[in-house]
């Protein structure tokens, strides 16, 4: 059913050389289908992906471009085939906004790994429309990528869970994080602070690793049982073969002491990276001798599925998990992007609607 149609406009990148000077621009949304939900946006988190994309670190952007993929708002129009969401519901959208819904991954409930997946911004729908993100008034999304927000979570807290939170929650649950497990978290930033909150809420013993001494106290307050300063060259030695899982949130990796981190894994332990550095920053090289003697696995993880997102939101509502955020009006996106670039953010900016 149709309601008032929002005007689609947002703070867009218009000149890639001035990547924080966003200008209010109108855009064309995707064609509304029976599977879609139209959402008026109240909040949007500021993700590291936004900065990488605006700075052209992951390749060229399609201009003008509105970024933002930690979106919360209200459903104002719901397609006839949409289940479980009605007009007026509080809902969110994360980093993906579409997939083929036909492939094995999609049918198995792992639509976040669909090879035809459409990203929430800077991607192209099959009809040629460029996707535009959440520093904007409104968005349309396929129901599989729209997450109902439980009453127990405020919108400002839910927003950054939908990419930042889910990106670490997925590898935690995929790798059986729970009581009796020891989980390491590398990097205390937007993602890392969520990894500590969720690993703790799932019942694991949490080890936080940081090279920022001023974040050690924060890591403890977030729930880490142990906090290790990685500036000490031998930081890994006392903890050899002790961790079941390490989630690395580092999004700049050439200097990552990966061998030291791997040496802390127990037999068949897993190292999962979720941070995505710029294209010219490969992971440090590994030799077979680094992996074989202790049977480690090294892998990655991409966001999470709707099923995992709903599990995360339920846990967050039940346990009263609150991310550490700073709220700013959307017009101050520049301030948030600069604060994120200079690593001043503690630990996520959330933009609030000021265009509608
Ligand atoms: Zn698919
Ligand atoms: Zn993100």
Q: What string of pLDDT tens digits covers the 356 residues of the chain?
A: 444 678 999 999 999 888 889 999 999 999 999 999 999 999 999 999 999 999 998 888 999 999 999 999 999 999 999 999 999 999 999 999 999 999 999 999 999 999 999 999 999 998 899 999 999 999 999 999 999 999 999 999 999 999 999 999 999 999 999 999 999 999 999 999 999 999 999 999 999 999 999 999 999 999 999 999 999 999 999 999 999 999 999 877 677 899 999 999 999 999 999 988 878 888 888 888 888 888 999 999 999 999 999 999 999 999 999 999 999 999 999 999 999 888 888 999 999 999 98
What is the 127 CA–ligand 1 centroid distance (Å)?
Answer: 17
CA of 88 to the centre of ligand 1 (A): 29
CATH of the domain at 138: 3.90.180.10
| 47 and 341 Cβ atoms separated by less than 8 Å | no
Structural domain that includes position 82: 9-152+320-352
> What is the pTM assigned to this prediction?
0.95
Q: Could you tell me the distance, in angstroms and rounded to a whole number, from the CA of residue 113 to the centre of ligand 1?
A: 7
Taking alpha carbons only, the member of 173, 197, 195, 198 closest to residue 184 is 195
Q: Is residue 256 part of a domain?
A: yes
Which one of the ligands is nearest to 251 CA? 2
Whole-angstrom Cα distance, residue 118 to residue 69?
12
Q: How far is the CA of 117 from the centre of ligand 2 (A)?
A: 15
CATH code where residue 227 lies: 3.40.50.720
- How many angstroms is it from 238 CA to the middle of ligand 2? 34
Any domain includes 314: no
In angstroms, the Cα distances linking 282 to 8, 184, 253, 255 are: 38, 22, 7, 10
On whether both 102 and 173 belong to a single domain, the answer is no
Distances (CA, A) of 105 to 112, 123, 334: 8, 20, 37
Inside any domain, residue 308: no
Say yes or no: 145 and 34 in one domain: yes
Give DSSP secondary structure letters for 234-291.
TTTGGGTT-EEEEEE--S--TT--HHHHHHTEEEEEEEEE-----TT-PPPP--HHHH
Domain assignment of residue 286, yes or no: yes
Ligand 2: centre distance to CA 242 (Å): 30
Ligand 2 center to 287 CA (angstroms) = 31
- For the chain, the domain total comes to 2
Residues 6+ apart with CB under 8 A from 306: 109, 111, 144, 145, 147
* Ligand nearest, relative to CA of residue 47: 2
CA of 292 to the centre of ligand 2 (A): 33
Q: What does the buried/exposed string (b/e) look like for 116-143 if buried means 16 or more CB atoms within 10 Å of the residue's CB?
A: ebbbbbbbeeeeebbbbbbbbbbbbbbb
């Amino acid at each position: 059913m149709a309601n008032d149609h929002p005007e689609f406009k947002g703070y867009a990148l218009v000149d890639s050389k001035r990547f924080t000077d966003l200008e209010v621009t109108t855009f064309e949304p995707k064609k509304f289908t029976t599977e879609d939900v139209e959402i008026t946006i109240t909040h949007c988190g500021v993700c590291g992906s936004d900065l990488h994309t605006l700075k052209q670190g992951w390749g060229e952007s399609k201009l003008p471009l509105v970024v933002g993929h930690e979106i919360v708002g209200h459903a104002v129009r719901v397609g006839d085939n949409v289940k479980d969401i009605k007009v007026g519901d509080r809902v969110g959208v994360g980093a993906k906004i579409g997939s083929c819904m036909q492939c094995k991954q999609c049918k198995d409930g792992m639509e976040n790994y669909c090879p035809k997946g459409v990203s929430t911004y800077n991607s192209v729908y099959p009809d040629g429309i460029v996707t535009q993100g959440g520093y904007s008034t409104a968005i349309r999304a396929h129901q599989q990528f729209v997450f109902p927000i439980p009453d127990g979570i405020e919108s400002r807290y839910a927003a950054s869970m939908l990419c930042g939170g889910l990106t670490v929650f997925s590898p935690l649950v995929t790798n059986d994080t729970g009581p009796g497990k020891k989980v390491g978290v590398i990097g205390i930033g937007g993602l890392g602070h969520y990894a500590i909150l969720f690993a703790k809420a799932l019942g694991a013993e949490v080890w936080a690793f940081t090279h920022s001494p001023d974040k050690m106290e924060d890591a403890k307050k977030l729930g880490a049982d142990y906090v290790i300063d990685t500036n000490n060259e031998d930081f890994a030695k006392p903890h050899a073969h002790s961790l079941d899982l390490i989630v690395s949130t580092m999004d700049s990796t050439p200097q990552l002491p990966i061998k030291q981190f791997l040496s802390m894994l127990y037999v068949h332990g897993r190292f999962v990276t979720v941070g995505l550095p710029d294209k010219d920053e490969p992971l440090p090289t590994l030799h077979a001798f680094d992996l074989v003697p202790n049977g480690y696995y090294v892998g990655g993880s991409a966001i999470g599925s709707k099923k995992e997102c709903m599990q995360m939101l339920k846990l967050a509502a039940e346990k009263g998990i609150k991310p550490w955020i700073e709220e700013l009006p959307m017009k101050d996106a520049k301030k948030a992007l600069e604060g994120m670039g200079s690593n001043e953010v503690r630990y996520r900016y959330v933009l609030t609607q000021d265009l509608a």
